Chain A
Amino acid sequence: MADTLQQQNKPQICAEPTKSFFVEMLTRDIPLEQAVLDLVDNSVDGAKAMRPTGEQPFEGRQVDITFSQDGFRIVDNCGGFDSKAARDYAFRFGRPAGTPRTEHSIGQFGVGMKRALFKFGNHFVVRSATTDDEWAVEVNVPEWESSSDGWYFPWAQFTPDENVSKARPGTDVFVDNLRPEVRTRFSTRLFENLIIGLIKSKHRQFISDGLSISVNGQHLDATNLYLLVRKDFQPGTDEILFQDRGEDDVNVRIITGIGHSSPREAGWYVICNGRVVLEADRSSRTGWGLLEEQSDTIFMPSFHNQFARFRGIVSFDSKDSSRVPWNTTKTDVDHDNHVWQRTFGRMMEMMRPVISFLNDLDNDIDEHTREHSPLLDFVSNAESVKAERLPARAAFAAPARGSIKKGQKTVKIQYSKPVDQVDFLMNELSVASAKAVGEKTFELIFQSMRDE
């Protein structure tokens, strides 16, 4: 039938996307801050492609980000890429077959840079130099969208400067003529704080490995993940290796344990090739509030502040970045990824004993108060250890409730009194809370009656 229609010699039906439609669709599905992180990911991949070694493999590599209402710039000295790479794949939407790939890369989808450029503004210049090549591209987006010259970006004159040259190979991305909604956000301190916080945590491993990142002139240090350890008290750790026929291996490492009490830091951290995808996640994505499908019984409780000490870390690592379980914006896990599915069960197994322990801890505090709970005293005097320094495989270990020598037996007293009377005593006793009034008055009356 197709042949019959072809023979009628009609012109073909055009289904080619317009450029402006494409740009709108591409930029709409990513939050602004994630688009900034995508560009940092590109720099990290550049640094990874330099095949670094040693304790601090990224030592000397530098990424400087500046933004304001006038424009956005990210400059790195992470090796740059040559004009052939620029021409053949770096500016293509999506990654053509046969594209050379960086092992363990974190920017595998081939959209990050373009998406960010279009998301930010209407004019951009990308300059890059390797040790033996240099080039620049400059695009005026409205002109490019309205031209009928096809999907090509024009080369521009490359002038070496202190940021990028053959002597200092790297990439310089500059965007101005910002979109109105981007311009207003780039000018706020809240957005700057947001970007700094995100990079510190999402790229923490690369910063720990020596990568120097600055945002608007402020040098960033890494946010480390710590777990509490002492004798007879240690996190559970495990490693799983997925070897699937014809595919690159995926190494998975899982850690579950106890940290300092901090509701904002509690939860699961999911890390793919070193890039944090989920941070302190307390949603059903990582098992919180999971119901047993068959019986509707609760398999895992929803997050509650009594779990503010829970820390779970799961890291996936593979040469082939399409094997690790992240979505294209790197803001969530890909639940359909079978590596994720096969790992998830083990994560839940390792989460259960920690949750049980935290329930015990909560009961112990309830019985003895925070000041006198032997279990809380045991936990809070443990040592903080960086997640990276934990042994490869160990079972979660923690003391059973009641196994620790109790201090004095205590009982909790609770009562209500008129506010003005409590205010009066707060003032008279120079204390700052109603609770302190209760304790202080008890101590005073106890002392005076005991000594009578």
Chain B
Amino acid sequence: MSASFRRIDYSLRPAKHAERRMLCDVFRRLRPFGRIEDYAYVGFGSVWFTDFALFHRALGIKDMVSIEQEESAQARFEENKPFRIPIDFRSSRDALPDLDWNKKQFVWLDYDDPLSPDILLDMRIVARRATSGTALAISVQCVRAPQVDQADQDKTADAPTALARFVDEFGRDRVPTTTTPKQLYGWQYGALSRSLVAQEIEAELASRNSNGAAPEMFFQPVCEIEYEDGARMTTLVGVFFSADDAGRFEACHFDGLEFRKTDKPVRIAVPKLTVREFKRLESQLPLVPGTELDLGSIPEGEANRFVDMYRYLPNFAVLEG
């Protein structure tokens, strides 16, 4: 985790804001596994604790832990935390194993960094322990793989390519041989990152399930999100459930999530609209079936983005004067 809290005001990231609300909708649907307010929330709160505030207010979660490896500004983190949230000042690698894994958890590992082998090891820590009904969201930056920059900077004539470096970094078993160099850039890199995360969880569950005694544990991705407030980010959200709880998982009806796409990731695109246009569209939503939006001069693309996302978008205005 790099110290992005020094650079970005989390509360002003509209796409992130939408993502938090989407996750809130995902978590809310886990009711068949037990009372939502009895879940524990684990996140990287930074100094903003925006996710903590939302899940506490909207879902009633009281048992919360923030993992913070940035030790240099401990006092600042402590002063900013609301709701008496305990902060574990260690790296996720050290903090995750010590969580109370007998409880059902919402775990949101919102890394500022691109995917690394360390992050994959965090996935294994969670997959080794998660109890049935636990939801895991993982976010990583996906502008381009750091190996691209390393390759660009290495001026040696026979320097390894970015892809060779990527394979070296993650290992031959993790990177499918069909991977192409362009998958190290942008949204394709995001998709590659998500698939590496999913296959790592799958592999850990395979060894967890290998004794054949306990009920088999599954991890089912629920949705994939892509967004950009400056840097491109991607999130994979999924739920752990045991074979015995397969019915409960079905009963969550994640297919009913409005924002969810079945065949592709949700791309959070924040429409660029004036406050007046905002109001104009909002007054017509939810759209009566069979009717069309009265757009006026609003560009159709922006309007469609708004219709897709309006329940999740923030309403902010800058107060001047």
The winner among B155, B158, B164, B205 for most chain A CB atoms within 10 A is B158
Q: Report if A359 contacts B (CB, 8 A).
A: no
Residues of A contacting B209 in the complex (Cβ-Cβ under 8 angstroms) = 180, 184
Residues of B contacting A379 in the complex (Cβ-Cβ under 8 angstroms) = 158
Shortest C-beta distance, B5 to chain A (Å), equals 13
Q: Report if B153 contacts A (CB, 8 A).
A: yes
Q: Report if B263 contacts A (CB, 8 A).
A: no
Q: Which of B148-172 contact A (CB under 8 A)?
A: 149, 153-160, 164, 167-168, 172
Residues of A contacting B205 in the complex (Cβ-Cβ under 8 angstroms) = 184
- Among B196-204, B237-245, B271-279, B302-310, the one that faces the other chain is B196-204
Residues of B contacting A180 in the complex (Cβ-Cβ under 8 angstroms) = 209-212
Shortest C-beta distance, A379 to chain B (Å), equals 8
| Known A193-B173, A263-B168: A188·B199 in contact at CB below 8 Å | yes
Residues of B contacting A228 in the complex (Cβ-Cβ under 8 angstroms) = 158
Residues of A contacting B155 in the complex (Cβ-Cβ under 8 angstroms) = 370-371
Q: Are A191 and B203 in touch, CB under 8 angstroms?
A: yes
Q: Report if B59 contacts A (CB, 8 A).
A: no
Residues of B contacting A337 in the complex (Cβ-Cβ under 8 angstroms) = none
Q: Report if B175 contacts A (CB, 8 A).
A: yes
Shortest C-beta distance, B6 to chain A (Å), equals 8
| Known A180-B210, A184-B209, A263-B168: A380·B157 in contact at CB below 8 Å | yes
Residues of A contacting B153 in the complex (Cβ-Cβ under 8 angstroms) = 432-433, 436
Measured between alpha carbons, how far is A200 from B153 in the docked complex, in Å? 30
Shortest C-beta distance, A393 to chain B (Å), equals 26
Q: Are B168 and A377 in touch, CB under 8 angstroms?
A: no
Q: Are B160 and A260 in touch, CB under 8 angstroms?
A: yes
Q: Report if A189 contacts B (CB, 8 A).
A: yes
Q: Report if A218 contacts B (CB, 8 A).
A: yes
The winner among B168, B172, B209, B212 for most chain A CB atoms within 10 A is B172
Closest to B208 in A: A184
Residues 180-214 of A, flagged 1 when their CB comes within 8 A of B and 0 if not, give: 11001101111101101100100000000000000
Q: Which of B90-131 contact A (CB under 8 A)?
A: none
Q: Report if B36 contacts A (CB, 8 A).
A: no
Q: Report if A261 contacts B (CB, 8 A).
A: yes
Q: Are A193 and B160 in touch, CB under 8 angstroms?
A: no
Shortest C-beta distance, A244 to chain B (Å), equals 38
Q: Are B164 and A262 in touch, CB under 8 angstroms?
A: yes
Residues 252-266 of A, flagged 1 when their CB comes within 8 A of B and 0 if not, give: 000000001111100
Query: Residue B203 contacts which of A181, A190, A382 (CB distance < 8 angstroms)?
Result: A190
Query: Residue A193 contacts which of B149, B156, B159, B176 (CB distance < 8 angstroms)?
Result: B176
Shortest C-beta distance, A145 to chain B (Å), equals 18
Q: Report if A376 contacts B (CB, 8 A).
A: yes
Q: How many residues of B sit at the interface, in one of the four size bands?
A: 20 to 34
Measured between alpha carbons, how far is A7 from B141 in the docked complex, in Å? 84
Q: Report if B283 contacts A (CB, 8 A).
A: no
Q: Are A193 and B174 in touch, CB under 8 angstroms?
A: yes
Q: Are B154 and A370 in touch, CB under 8 angstroms?
A: yes
Q: Which of A263-310 contact B (CB under 8 A)?
A: 263-264
Q: Are A185 and B210 in touch, CB under 8 angstroms?
A: yes
Q: Report if B177 contacts A (CB, 8 A).
A: yes
Q: Report if A410 contacts B (CB, 8 A).
A: no
Q: Are A264 and B157 in touch, CB under 8 angstroms?
A: no
Measured between alpha carbons, how far is A436 from B210 in the docked complex, in Å? 48
Residues of B contacting A218 in the complex (Cβ-Cβ under 8 angstroms) = 177-178
Closest to B165 in A: A262
Q: Report if B54 contacts A (CB, 8 A).
A: no
Closest to B171 in A: A264
Residues of B contacting A380 in the complex (Cβ-Cβ under 8 angstroms) = 156-159
Q: Report if A381 contacts B (CB, 8 A).
A: yes
Closest to B146 in A: A432
The winner among B178, B207, B210 for most chain A CB atoms within 10 A is B210
Query: Residue A190 contacts which of B149, B173, B178 (CB distance < 8 angstroms)?
Result: B173
Q: Are B156 and A264 in touch, CB under 8 angstroms?
A: no
Measured between alpha carbons, how far is A146 from B207 in the docked complex, in Å? 29
Q: Are A264 and B172 in touch, CB under 8 angstroms?
A: yes
| Known A193-B175, A197-B172: A181·B211 in contact at CB below 8 Å | yes
Residues of A contacting B212 in the complex (Cβ-Cβ under 8 angstroms) = 180-181
Shortest C-beta distance, B152 to chain A (Å), equals 9
Q: Are A181 and B210 in touch, CB under 8 angstroms?
A: yes
Q: Are A260 and B199 in touch, CB under 8 angstroms?
A: no
Q: Report if B53 contacts A (CB, 8 A).
A: no
Q: Are B156 and A185 in touch, CB under 8 angstroms?
A: no
Measured between alpha carbons, how far is A180 from B207 in the docked complex, in Å? 10
Q: Which of A374-389 contact B (CB under 8 A)?
A: 376-377, 379-382, 384
Shortest C-beta distance, A180 to chain B (Å), equals 3
Residues of A contacting B164 in the complex (Cβ-Cβ under 8 angstroms) = 262
| Known A193-B175, A200-B177: A381·B158 in contact at CB below 8 Å | yes
Measured between alpha carbons, how far is A185 from B199 in the docked complex, in Å? 11
Q: Are A262 and B168 in touch, CB under 8 angstroms?
A: yes
The winner among B178, B202, B206 for most chain A CB atoms within 10 A is B206
Measured between alpha carbons, how far is A47 from B184 in the docked complex, in Å? 39
Residues of A contacting B172 in the complex (Cβ-Cβ under 8 angstroms) = 193-194, 197, 264
Measured between alpha carbons, how far is A190 from B202 in the docked complex, in Å? 8
Measured between alpha carbons, how far is A221 from B149 in the docked complex, in Å? 28
Residues of B contacting A381 in the complex (Cβ-Cβ under 8 angstroms) = 157-158
Residues of A contacting B175 in the complex (Cβ-Cβ under 8 angstroms) = 193
Residues of B contacting A433 in the complex (Cβ-Cβ under 8 angstroms) = 149, 153
Q: Are A377 and B157 in touch, CB under 8 angstroms?
A: yes
Closest to A194 in B: B173
Residues of A contacting B167 in the complex (Cβ-Cβ under 8 angstroms) = 264
Residues of B contacting A194 in the complex (Cβ-Cβ under 8 angstroms) = 172-173
| Known A180-B210, A188-B206, A190-B200: A261·B157 in contact at CB below 8 Å | no
Q: Which of A358-416 contact B (CB under 8 A)?
A: 370-371, 376-377, 379-382, 384
Measured between alpha carbons, how far is A188 from B199 in the docked complex, in Å? 7
Q: Which of A314-347 contact B (CB under 8 A)?
A: none
Q: Are A261 and B158 in touch, CB under 8 angstroms?
A: yes
Shortest C-beta distance, A262 to chain B (Å), equals 6
Q: Are B206 and A185 in touch, CB under 8 angstroms?
A: yes
Q: List 10 A-B contacts (CB under 8 A).
A: A180-B209, A181-B212, A185-B210, A193-B172, A193-B177, A261-B159, A261-B160, A379-B158, A381-B158, A433-B149
19 other contacts beyond A190-B199, A196-B177, with CB at 8 A cut-off?
A: A180-B211, A181-B212, A184-B210, A188-B206, A193-B172, A193-B176, A196-B176, A197-B173, A218-B177, A261-B156, A261-B159, A262-B160, A262-B164, A262-B168, A370-B154, A370-B156, A371-B155, A381-B158, A436-B153
